[in-house]
A and B are shown apart, each in its own frame.
Chain A
Amino acid sequence: MTTGNPMMYVGAVGLIMIGLFTVLSKRNLIKIIVGLTLLDTGVNLLLVAIGYIHNRTAPILTQAHADPSKMVDPVPQALVLTAIVIGLGVTALALALAIRVYGHYKTLDTRKIRGLKW
């Protein structure tokens, strides 16, 4: 079915699952944010792996590689470039919120923070 290596997809989905599990089961806010970044990385990896075509090079024309038919799909790579930057902004904002929460409650445990239980 796939001409590429299926381990790429398995690895990417595995990263997404590890991130989701961390977000769902951990109680420390910092660990939850680390889980979010793992999730983010997994999604980016999955997108790039979907765009990859076996035995083709990066979509950058050089004097040595000027044949567009030997290149992978550039659209997922452009998408992922955007997604990485957005993920960075989300992480920075979440960490700032965690700092504020710690300053207010003196803890990062979600069980001890009122209104953050499930």
Chain B
Amino acid sequence: MRAFVSFSVLALIVVGLALSLSHIPFGTDRMQVGNYYLDHGVADTGASNIVTAVVLNYRALDTLGEVTVLFIASLGLGVFLSWPKKKEGTQEEGKRELPEASLIVRRGSQFLFPLIILFGGYIFLHGHLTPGGGFQGGSVIASAFLLMFLGNNAYRLRHTPLTVTESLAGITFVVVGLIGLGVGGYFLNNFLPKGNMFSLFSAGVIPILYSAIGLKVGAELSGIVANMFESRSER
């Protein structure tokens, strides 16, 4: 019965999608908005990566909302996993000791950890020049912490530095936006000089904003990973 209902719902959706998509001339040419961004993006923002120009200049307010959504998700995850506090004596049966990883895995993860952090920093600092940006760099940084958790049984992450980093990065984003409001008349105005194209210090506030986003996303995702691992070790 469930499979039948599922299949009929799916068939309906497939027919609807096919009917609607077949009338759109895909792949022929860009829309007007995309054309405008491509033709004027560099002159307007100074960023050679047009996707970054869209995300952090034309639609930067949406990015602030996106960062907020991720923040709320990580906050909710922390609340769900840490509340209510564990009751003693109810969950011994699920508790089993994990074997310690081998020496190669432990040392290898500790050796790779700073290199991966460095690579994440590179990705979010060059977000306006190359494919990449704050979200990608933050994910790479969080993967370094994930590697440490997987390779070292006793590894624990202190939450206070994470929270401080995250809050400072979020405050930086909003303060840069407010300075733009004060200088140029609208929120997240690009008030710094645009600089030379293809150089690291170009595109005005975009590297600052992307660094803030990179640190914030990295701290949030590392916090998510840490929360998950700690909830496992508690029960």
Interface of A is mostly: helix
- Please encode chain A, from 62 to 73, with 1 for each CB lying within 8 Å of some chain B CB and 0 for all others: 110000110111
**Cross-chain contact A78 with B59 (CB below 8 angstroms):** yes
Point out the residue from A68, A74, A103 that lies within 8 Å of B51, measured CB to CB: A74
**Number of B interface residues in the complex (CB < 8 A):** 59
Nearest residue in A to B17 (C-beta to C-beta)? A13
**Cross-chain contact B54 with A74 (CB below 8 angstroms):** yes
Point out the residue from A3, A81, A95 that lies within 8 Å of B27, measured CB to CB: A3
**Cross-chain contact A89 with B14 (CB below 8 angstroms):** no
Point out the residue from B3, B26, B34, B49 that lies within 8 Å of A4, measured CB to CB: B26
Point out the residue from A58, A68, A72, A78 that lies within 8 Å of B55, measured CB to CB: A78
**Cross-chain contact B37 with A74 (CB below 8 angstroms):** yes
Nearest residue in A to B130 (C-beta to C-beta)? A60
- Please encode chain B, from 129 to 151, with 1 for each CB lying within 8 Å of some chain A CB and 0 for all others: 01101010000000000000000
**Cross-chain contact B77 with A96 (CB below 8 angstroms):** yes
B44 lies within 8 A of chain A by Cβ = no
A116 lies within 8 A of chain B by Cβ = no
**Cross-chain contact A73 with B30 (CB below 8 angstroms):** yes
Point out the residue from A2, A3, A93 that lies within 8 Å of B77, measured CB to CB: A93
**Cross-chain contact A68 with B39 (CB below 8 angstroms):** yes
B182: min CB distance to chain A, Å:
27
B209: min CB distance to chain A, Å:
14
**Cross-chain contact B37 with A75 (CB below 8 angstroms):** yes
B38 lies within 8 A of chain A by Cβ = yes
Q: Which of B7, B25, B30 has the most CB of A within 10 A?
A: B30
B175 lies within 8 A of chain A by Cβ = no
**Cross-chain contact B135 with A81 (CB below 8 angstroms):** yes
Nearest residue in B to A51 (C-beta to C-beta)? B34
Nearest residue in A to B128 (C-beta to C-beta)? A60
A50 lies within 8 A of chain B by Cβ = yes
* Binding stretch for chain A, among B63-71, B116-124, B186-194: B63-71
**Cross-chain contact A85 with B70 (CB below 8 angstroms):** yes
User: How far is B22's CA from A84's CA once the two chains are assembled, in angstroms?
Assistant: 26
A112: min CB distance to chain B, Å:
16
Given contacts A75-B34, A89-B69, contact A17 B10 (CB under 8 A): yes
Chain A residues with CB under 8 A of B135: 81, 84-85
**Cross-chain contact B54 with A82 (CB below 8 angstroms):** no
CB contacts under 8 Å to B, within A70-118, are: 71-75, 77-78, 81-82, 84-86, 88-90, 92-93, 95-97, 99-100, 103
- List, sorted by A's number, 15 A–B pairs whose CB atoms are closer than 8 Å: A2-B25, A20-B6, A20-B9, A53-B30, A54-B27, A59-B49, A60-B51, A73-B30, A74-B50, A75-B33, A85-B69, A86-B66, A92-B73, A95-B228, A100-B81
Chain A interface (Cβ < 8 Å from any Cβ of B):
1-4, 9, 13, 17, 20-21, 24-25, 49-54, 58-63, 68-69, 71-75, 77-78, 81-82, 84-86, 88-90, 92-93, 95-97, 99-100, 103
